[in-house]
Chains A and B, each alone.
Chain A
Amino acid sequence: MAGAVDEQKGRSDAAAPAAIELRGISKSFGPVQANKNISLRVPKGTIHGIIGENGAGKSTLMSILYGFYKPDSGEIQVNGNTLTITDSQTAIRAGIGMVFQHFKLVQNFTVLENIILGAEDGPLLRTSLSKARGVLKQLAQEYQLNVDPDETIEELSVGHQQRVEILKALYRQADILILDEPTGVLTPAEADHLFRILEGLKAEGKTIILITHKLREIMEITDNVSVMRRGEMVASVKTAETSPEELAELMVGRKVLLNVDKAPANPGAPILEVRDLKLVDADGVERLRGISFDIRAGEILGVAGVSGNGQTQLLELLGGYPEKGSKISGSVRMNGETLDLTGTGSDAATRRARGIGHIPEDRQVEGLIMDFAAWENVAFGYHHAPEFNKGLLMDNAAILLDAEQKMERFDVRPRNPNLAARNFSGGNQQKIVVAREIERNPDLLLIGQPTRGVDIGAIEFIHKRIVELRDSGKAILLVSVELDEILSLSDRIAVMFDGRIMGERLPDSTTTGELGLLMAGIVDTENTPDSAGIPPDLKHVEELPQEPA
């Protein structure tokens, strides 16, 4: 077990009691085990990185430490004292401070008011406020944490808001600071400044836990690093003794390769041509920063990447439902014709009419209506199709018959079209979605996480169907966080990081290590993101005629 490894390392590390010591922490949410028997030792006065993919259990572990969740089993020691952390007040008293990914600040309060919120000294605000003003001045000098105490939060930049969060924790005399994905919302310059602040805090003897999935940050600033994967702590090492390559492999993990029988691709004309696609979401965050790629008929383009790097936005945009309030630019051509990205013809129904099918990332929220019967879900998105309608009314008998046939062909179990979607297992739910989208025979199929939460048998089945569709000359865009799936299904692999395509690789001539580095945002110079993988004859003029918005 990995636990044994890190305990040994931990002991050889330091003689002083650790700031944080976790032993055998487990936590389940229903059938999902978010943390499995986790042990972690964070020595005093160090910066400790915790790295792992989204959903690896990092945030759950930190929430346990901060008293938001109660662990099912295990022991927590803070500075050598065993503690039962039942709520965040206990954690704060023990000297733990947390800076959340999404700040917990009152927008229309001033910095000073936010700092004393929940830590007022008495019924009168004036005494607390003047005390806080003094402390703040001192902290600002000590750690370069300069913020105007009388500015309201809504007037501050994101970087400054984060400083307020750090100041809040320090004001509460935290000497163990947990930062959850702190650079996710920061510009590079702001991130650099944050790192200087963290170095300063460390020099003062504070302990810092940094949760991230960015390898670069880990290498730059941490003393030790622990890697989590699928709820388990798979390794704890000294940063100086490891390399980004090793961490990338540990983070992504290597499973037995799933076997997919597939002939070499026989690509035809380009079906989808995406050029310089940009998307800024409603919060002003750049989700796509100029994406360009082609997919040709009879080809599967796999998009690898840690989730949250723009893949969702790419799928939603192509599928016809980008987040409300997003600003979109760039161009997309489908079968040589321009797709309307922002106008009235940019909705999902129009996309379907243009021959774009979509197996969405989240079948339970998007792909299926869970309370609808299986047969009703078979018409979902295609409920305007003539064969499902009879005059003014829907032809329920026809839909039911179609559902029965699809369930037969895709071996959906139980084969009961009247059962509500929520009563099927994950794999069978996904088969319903896959059957619906593939059997429409779309020119382009968008696929997000086709086998998330799907059992092995269904995975193979779904993979086979995807390859069959490819062999019938269709274009497929496959987005998955499972590298094995990407490697075994794709004909070409594009790696996304932070809204960009970091590079394209061919599955036969790459390794998980190499992909892992690209996924962590470490670019090489050999292959430039745009040109790799697109044969010269298919590259067309970069300046496509601009659509009027």
Chain B
Amino acid sequence: MDKMPKWADVVLTPLISLVLAMAISALVILAIGESPWMALTTMVEGALGSSYGWGFTLYYTTNFIFTGLAVMVAYHASLFNIGGEGQAMMGGLGVALVCLALPWPHWGVALPAAMIGAALFGAAWALIPAWLQAKRGSHIVITTIMFNFIAAALLNYVLVNILRPVGSMDPASARFPEGTHLPKLAEIAAGFGIEWGKNTPVNITFLFAIVICFLVWVLIWRTRLGYEIRAFGKSEPGALYAGISPVRITVITMLISGALAGLMAINNVMGEAERLLLNSVEGAGFIGIAVALMGRNHPFGVFLAALLFGFLYQGGGELALWTTIPRELIIVIQALVILFTGALDNMVRIPLERMFMAMRSKGKP
């Protein structure tokens, strides 16, 4: 039998990790002479207390869904793609090139084209590490992280030397034409007569992200490719026995992973900034790793974990804005959550498993 019930694995373990992370955060806040309770209420109030707060929380959530899914898909093939950051940057470049290429008449036309651009550029950036891993055995963790730096340098070059409008001092592209501006969630809600969080960046991409969560679930658990990806991830000798080509699966999985990371640019570049900025990804690629780990590599879990990290991001911003708790402490809190839910997962899991095993053996005669 499994070591513990599914609910304990999926819900209880991350919850305990989260509580531990919060407890230590509270101690840190106490240590600098602030009130943890006040900090918590400020975060909850700021991130979830108003439609304005939700607007930002969901915007961040959307970013993390894409990067979380990217890590998740690769993880099912036992590939640790930590190049989401670079792939999302390149996705941004793809979006910018598409949006600036034509005077798009309507976002409905521009969006599919931009999505293809984002996915293609993200996938292309994952292709080289994937190929090196599959054919040459270069470890994908090393190559993808190096490609993050290359992406940053390349983007810098392209923005400064090619995409920067004449006369501008800012390393950023020109504004995208009107016809590429995506509808904000507030505008969509207004269409239904609901008044909801004006001036917030959350846009239609959030809805797409939910659809993509579902599509990824179909891919992994309902298609032959997903079956092959999971089989390969569990046992490479098994995959060979079954006639599944490791080279093919490695490359295809990384292409999908890179494309998902690249699609994040639809949210932050096309949906929010409406032009390509130098550091638009803001570490979301790395947060994706924690999101995938905490989401137990399931799209629904990724969605929930992305929501949590969206809350932490927005709540953290509010904390810095309204209290004397320094900005750096927010990073400490976020780091603690990542540490406990991601890296120290087994610290909670193993004692819990023992507990459930003990309970079960007691239950039996």
Contacts and interface: CB of A to CB of B under 8 A. Distances in A.
A pairs with B: yes
Interface of A: 319-321, 347-352, 358, 360, 362, 365-372, 376, 379-381, 383-384, 389, 392-394, 396, 420, 423
Interface of B: 1-2, 218, 222-224, 227-228, 230-231, 234-235, 237-238, 240-245
18 contacts: A319-B241, A347-B245, A350-B243, A351-B243, A360-B241, A366-B235, A367-B238, A369-B230, A370-B235, A372-B231, A376-B227, A380-B242, A381-B241, A383-B227, A383-B242, A394-B223, A394-B224, A396-B222
A423 B227 contact: no
B2 A423 contact: yes
Contacts of A367: 238, 241
B358 to A, nearest CB: 19
A371 B234 contact: yes
B241 A369 contact: no
Q: Report whether over half of chain B's contact residues are helix, strand or loop; otherwise say mixed.
A: helix
A417 B244 CA distance: 23
Contacts of A380: 231, 238, 242
Nearest to B232: A369
A394 B230 CA distance: 14
A205 B214 CA distance: 74
Contacts of A358: 241
Contacts of A347: 243, 245
Contact of B223 (A319, A348, A362, A393): A393
B234 A348 contact: no
A369 B224 contact: no
B249 to A, nearest CB: 13
Contact of A393 (B2, B218, B234, B242): B218
A365 B237 contact: yes
B223 A365 contact: no
B224 A348 contact: no
B243 A320 contact: yes
A160 B240 CA distance: 35
Which one of A319, A369, A371, A383 has the highest number of Cβ atoms from chain B below 10 Å of its Cβ?
A: A369
Contact of B234 (A352, A372, A379, A384): A372
Contacts of A366: 235, 237-238, 240-241
B244 to A, nearest CB: 8
Contacts of B235: 365-366, 369-370
A281 to B, nearest CB: 15
Which one of B223, B227, B228, B230 has the highest number of Cβ atoms from chain A below 10 Å of its Cβ?
A: B227
Contacts of B241: 319, 321, 348, 358, 360, 366-367, 381
Contacts of B240: 321, 348, 366
Contacts of A371: 234
A69 B245 CA distance: 38
Contact of A369 (B222, B238, B243): B238
Contacts of B222: 393-394, 396
Nearest to A396: B222
Nearest to A382: B242
A347 B224 CA distance: 18
B223 A392 contact: yes
B224 A389 contact: yes
Given A320-B243, A369-B231, A384 B224 contact: yes
Contact of B238 (A320, A365, A392, A420): A365
Contacts of A396: 222
Contacts of B228: 383
Nearest to B223: A393
A381 B242 contact: yes
A370 B228 CA distance: 14
Which one of A320, A362, A381, A389 has the highest number of Cβ atoms from chain B below 10 Å of its Cβ?
A: A381
Contacts of B242: 348-349, 380-381, 383
Contacts of A321: 240-241, 243
Q: List the 10 closest pairs (A to B, CB-CB), nearest first.
A: A349-B243, A348-B243, A381-B242, A366-B241, A321-B240, A369-B234, A393-B222, A366-B237, A365-B237, A366-B238
